[in-house]
Amino acid sequence: MTLATLLAGPGPVILDGAVGTELARRGIDTGLPLWSARALDDAAGRAVLVAIHAAYARAGATILTTCTFRTTARALAPAGREARWRLFNQYAVDAARVGSRAARRPALVAGSLAPLEDCYRCDLVPAQAACLREHLVQVDLLARLGVDLILIETMNTAREAMAAVEAVRAVGIDALVSLCPGPADALLSGEPLGRVVPRLLDAGGGRIRGLMLNCATPAVLARAAPGLRALASGLPWGVSAHLGEPDPVSGWRLPDGHDPEGYAEWMAPIVGAGARLAGGCCGTTPDHIAALQRRFAPARTA
């Protein structure tokens, strides 16, 4: 199975939902600075992570995202874990593979490549040379560990997104690019998507296989979807909304209630408009992905 074969099928490709907030929901300490990477630090956390990946595979996700949102050497350093950088990434890739096998549902493994600093703090984006150097090192490692593709996700500025795209092109691995909007027509940095997206697609050298927006509210993404469709230049496109709010202590404050069927209902007009990629961001659960599966890809239901 490849991304191309998935996209050649009918209906949208279903991605997984949140990993970090799902770890917290299942009792794993995701406090800063490690956040989701804390699950990789011991066997008990890794077992929960495998169970989460398996739950998403059983729910119908055909792309599982590695728990590497915070596993760069830079992100691990404040917790004194930078010496375990390679090992943490290995654990994360292995967990996704094992989870897929445990569920007996084949799924591609996408290596998560996130902003080097806080995804909601555009002002903290490192110098461009550092962005390119560190993303290149991370992409190269994930490729060597055997991921099927890279998910460049939650990019909040054009220049860091560009560095990530240049890294995947240099390594020679396919990627989905997912940007973090502020207003519906711009990145969180305020840079207009209409200027940013064409530059990224041009820089990708054919390695960008799909374009997404993630980590914004359903309301913002519903307004952004038509513009994203126009900018995708024929590439598969889609969205992954978040449910809940950022929290300075835990990293994310979960919503009071989850409504999986409501999430699928919200996604319906976006899929109807041509979205080929559908998943969930922070606060979503395997139940949300199962609802997307039932609504849009019933043939995979077992």
| pTM, 2 dp | 0.94
Just give the CATH number of 3-300.
Answer: 3.20.20.330
- pLDDT number for residue 258: 62
Q: Are 37 and 302 in contact (CB under 8 A)?
A: no
- pLDDT number for residue 160: 98
- In the 3-class helix/strand/coil scheme, how is the chain assigned residue by residue? CCHHHHHHCCCCEEECCCCHHHHHHCCCCCCCCCHHHHHHHCHHHHHHHHHHHHHHHHHCCCEEECCCCCCCHHHHHHHCCHHHHHHHHHHHHHHHHHHHHHHCCCCEEEEEECCCCCCCCHHHCCCHHHHHHHHHHHHHHHHHCCCCEEEEEEECCHHHHHHHHHHHHHHCCCEEEEECECCCCEECCCCEHHHHHHHHHHHCCCCEEEEEEECCCHHHHHHHHHHHHHHCCCCCEEEEECCCECCCCCCCECCCCCCHHHHHHHHHHHHHCCCCEEEECCCCCHHHHHHHHHHHCHHHCC
- pLDDT number for residue 60: 96
Which residues does the chain have with pLDDT short of 70? 248-252, 254-258, 298-302
Write out pLDDT tens, residues 57-101: 999 999 999 999 999 999 999 999 999 999 999 999 999 999 999
